[in-house]
């Protein structure tokens, strides 16, 4: 399945990153948050939107926006690209419809082998019994 480029619909917000980094972290806004409103998207059909809303529900906030953050890189641009990659990955995975499992039958040979092993086990145990002479 090819995910269409919905990058134009993503809005970005920056903030200061947390964690180590000293003065650089304290004064530069490198963390990027990406917001995408799934229900308002023009790139996906209604059926795909329903699937996205259902599967990505834990990551969608009360306003209906899919929220993805990144603060792993030292630059805002790299974090923005990371947000886009993460969002594309999430959408791609959510749109994959798993194949239904086809139940298979147990073959006659396997059934016969099982019965044969049960007979052997029963024979072995019956030989352990004390006999009445």
- Residue 128: inside a domain, yes or no? no
Cα–Cα distance for residue pair 77/19, rounded to 1 Å: 19
Query: Quick check: helix, strand or coil at residue 107?
Result: coil
> What was the pLDDT predicted at 1?
47
Report if residue 36 sits inside a domain: yes
- Using alpha carbons, select from 90, 39, 84 the residue that is nearest to residue 64: 39
Question: What's the confidence (pLDDT) of residue 84?
Answer: 92
- Residue 111 falls within a domain, yes or no? no
- Residue 133, domain member (yes or no): no
In the chain, the number of structural domains is: 1
Structural domain contains residue 74: yes
Which of the residues in the chain have pLDDT under 50?
1-2
The CATH number for 74's domain is 3.30.160.20
pTM over 0.75: no
Which pLDDT does position 4 carry in this prediction? 58
């Amino acid at each position: 399945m090819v995910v269409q480029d919905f990058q134009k619909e993503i809005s970005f917000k920056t903030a200061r990153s947390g964690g180590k980094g000293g003065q650089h972290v304290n004064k530069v806004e490198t963390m990027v948050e990406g917001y995408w409103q799934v229900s308002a998207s023009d790139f996906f059909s209604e059926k795909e939107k329903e699937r996205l809303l259902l599967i990505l529900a834990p990551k969608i906030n009360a306003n209906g926006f899919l929220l993805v953050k990144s603060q792993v890189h030292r630059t805002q641009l790299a974090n923005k690209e990371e947000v886009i990659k993460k969002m594309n990955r999430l959408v791609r995975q959510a749109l994959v419809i798993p194949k239904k499992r086809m139940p298979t039958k147990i073959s006659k040979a396997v059934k016969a082998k099982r019965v044969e092993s049960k007979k052997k086990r029963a024979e072995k145990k019956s030989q352990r019994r004390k006999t009445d002479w």
